[in-house]
Structure 1
Amino acid sequence: MDYTYKFPVVRGKQARREYYIAMVPLKMLSKLFPNTEEYVLPEYRAQRKMNESRIPVISRYITENRDSYAFSALAASIDGEFEFHESSDGLGTGILEVAMDARLLINDGQHRKAAILDALNEDASLGTETISVVLYEDLGLTRSQQLFTDLNKHAVKTSNSIAELYDSRDALAVINRNVVSRVKFLNDYTDKERDILGKFSSNLFTLNTFYTANKRIVGCTEVSDAAERFLCKFWTNIVQNIIQWNELMNHEISKVDLRENYIVTQGVVIQAFGIIGNYFYNNPQSQMEDVLLKLQSIDWKRSAVQWKLRVIRADGKIITSNKAIMLTANRIKREIGLEFSKDEEHRENQFLGSINI
């Protein structure tokens, strides 16, 4: 090998085969990993097709968090000649020489690589920073395809709830967890890790449910301390005026009974409350506390006729669509005396017309 790339690496071993970990400057990625497989039929390549829409999202993450972004390692195969020269300490560190005509194929991390290259176009100073690359010997297409499968098969997507629990960049995520923690009933019965609760879960809600409801209330604009204060006040009033929630706190009703016979723990109802909250958020002159007192008079039983086909199917199952959220909010608005918007009135008339046919 007359002309080579030289990487300081650490050598490791998995499944009786050696592999190497290198720190690669970001500006070298385009040269080391050219886009050679993108237009090859899937059965003849070892990667999924690039999803172009993901690239600007990841690129913005880098440039907008210049001092705190973090990436996991890329994984790649070396298709060509290479030699490892161990250092004198014998601890598995050394120099990996890779022939200039060898192909380095990414097995995991193509979107990260593409986003880094995109970010480099905006901020060239990123070029001297590094990313770790795990290098394997290429043993042919079948092995590379299997490596891609093995690296991705067992990956589990992070739940939205735990992502929002840990996210300090998203201002609404921060406010959402502050609000949930400050309203005792919500804090006591909100799962902050899962997005789907089992029938016998000790919790009634998920953190993500309140995140999406609060997003309906305050919108996508920059949120503020005033928004957090409003959300705390709104949800406190909701809790105070849902009779069944108070019966649960007073041990007068069980969680199983609440789940099976009432709709007030369902995500569709929490989202409907989000629409109600948005009305008060945009109409601060309204007497929110007095209006929400009327929630106490609403019949929240699944069997109540006003929920049929609006949020409860003919077979008794919950409807979870956006239409159901809107129609549920409409019914709550009617019960507590709030005006419909033109769109809400149109949807309500459509619904009433359809059930009267």
Structure 2
Amino acid sequence: MPAFEYNFPAIRGIQAGREYYISMCPLRLIPRIFLFDEDELNPELRAQRILNKSRIPEMARYLLANPKDYIFSALTASIDGKVKFDAMGDEKTERTMGRLRVPMNARFIINDGQHRRAAIEAALRENPDLGDETISVVFFMDVGLERSQQMFADLNRHAVRPTKSLGILYDDREDDSIIAKALASKVPVFVGLTELERSSISNRSLKLFTLSGIYSATRTLLNGIELPTVEKKIDLAAEFWTTVSGYIPEWQLAKERKASPAELRRDYIHAHTLALSALARIGNQLLAKNLRAWKSKLKKLDSLDWSRGSSHWDGRAMNAGRLSKKTVNVALCANFIKKHLGLKLTAEEQQLEQDFRREQRGKDKAA
């Protein structure tokens, strides 16, 4: 018996004929026990566990900003070592509860949750008081870590990330999510025409917008706009989108069930998130200048030809006959709309136009 060992209160279970254990570990122990040293892993394990370090600060901020209202799911780990489980007693219920004794020379490897482990470590550096909180850990026995690679694959095989729209729908913490949900129920043309759960719209859907599309476009619209409350931001964004919708009659026809959303998506640029994003870029510039007459600047939208077949969308919204949602395409569409509205392009936008026209001339010569 080793002189020193970890001693975890645990519940014992059986999966695929093998014992596993569930324990509650104080957060302060997580970085100490579950070391993440890529050099100690063989290449196959290391390749599947490379940390995306850009995710860590955001996860740590979530933990620090919500000390009374955060949720972290369980970690899953393999133990390479000779462990012993001391049951509470001999009764059936007592045999499943007890203490898991793990020698200190045992190796631990996280099969699921390495980003949570790193975020906990980062958060503890700023707020050590979080160390008294606990997180559940599922321990699997894996001498030699021979099963660890397959366990990693199995744990992630059936993992399905929620759609962006669904994540926004269920998020009552982030301001941008709150704003997007409010707009979906406040802007007349969005009401009833917004897909709340999926981030894409099927061909037969009666929806015209997605919650994720409204979310992304409105983030662009309000970027850098200083307002005292979320309610004020909602009011301004609702006013903007309501004004825009008044100059796009097909949206109103869809609202009144006089036009098919599927046909609008087939025939018009404005029936796609690309157009919302482009309009939001323009709106942000108008609002940032504190133009009281920003509404009047949008009036010419009602004379804009939004049809996908119009040649002025070639290379801007349409590439080889297909709609493109790349950032550069959003910017090129915004440029065209700005020129139609009689608005001046910024120096950056002018450069983008020059590059675009040069590229188009090259394509014409090649043809």
TM-score (norm 2): 0.89
- Residue 345 (1) aligns with residue 350 (2): yes
Q: Percent sequence identity over matched residues?
A: 38
In the TM superposition, 1:130-169 aligns within 5 A as 130-169=134-173
Please say if residues 38 and 49 of structure 1, whose CA atoms lie closer than 8 Å, have aligned partners that are also in contact: no
- Counterpart of 1:263 (choices 243, 251, 269) is 269
Partner Cα distance (1:46, 1:256) in 2: 43
What is the root-mean-square deviation in Å for CA atoms of aligned residues? 2.2
- Residue 316 (1) aligns with residue 321 (2): yes
Instruction: Provide closer, same or farther for how the CA distance between residues 302 and 36 of structure 1 changes in structure 2, counting only shifts above 3 A.
Output: closer
Q: What does residue 181 of structure 1 align with?
A: 185
Structure 2 residue matching 1:185: 3-state secondary structure: coil
- Counterpart of 2:236 (choices 227, 230, 245) is 230
Q: What does residue 44 of structure 2 align with?
A: 43
- Residue 193 (1) aligns with residue 197 (2): yes
Q: CA deviation at 1:119?
A: 1.7
The count of residues paired between Structure 1 and Structure 2 equals: 356
Partner Cα distance (2:47, 2:142) in 1: 11
Please say if residues 42 and 48 of structure 1, whose CA atoms lie closer than 8 Å, have aligned partners that are also in contact: no
TM-score (norm 1): 0.91
- Counterpart of 1:241 (choices 244, 247, 250) is 247
Larger mean Cα displacement after TM superposition, 69-78 or 103-112? 103-112
Instruction: Provide closer, same or farther for how the CA distance between residues 29 and 221 of structure 1 changes in structure 2, counting only shifts above 3 A.
Output: farther
- Counterpart of 2:92 (choices 90, 93, 107) is 90
What is the one-letter code of the residue matched to 1:317? R
* Gaps in structure 2 of 5+ consecutive residues: 363-367
Q: CA deviation at 1:61?
A: 1.8
Larger mean Cα displacement after TM superposition, 135-144 or 270-279? 135-144
Q: What does residue 302 of structure 1 align with?
A: 308
Structure 2 residue matching 1:264: 3-state secondary structure: helix
Partner Cα distance (1:326, 1:44) in 2: 42
Structure 1 residue matching 2:78: 3-state secondary structure: strand
Instruction: Provide closer, same or farther for how the CA distance between residues 193 and 90 of structure 1 changes in structure 2, counting only shifts above 3 A.
Output: same
Structure 2 residue matching 1:106: 3-state secondary structure: strand
Partner Cα distance (1:172, 1:63) in 2: 19
In the TM superposition, 1:262-301 aligns within 5 A as 262-301=268-307
Q: CA deviation at 1:44?
A: 5.6
What is the one-letter code of the residue matched to 1:334? K
The CA deviation string for residues 177-201 of structure 1, in whole angstroms up to 9 with x for no partner, is: 1112101321312112222222222
Q: CA deviation at 1:161?
A: 1.6
The CA deviation string for residues 226-257 of structure 1, in whole angstroms up to 9 with x for no partner, is: 32211100101111210111222333322222
- Residue 128 (1) aligns with residue 132 (2): yes
Partner Cα distance (1:219, 1:290) in 2: 21
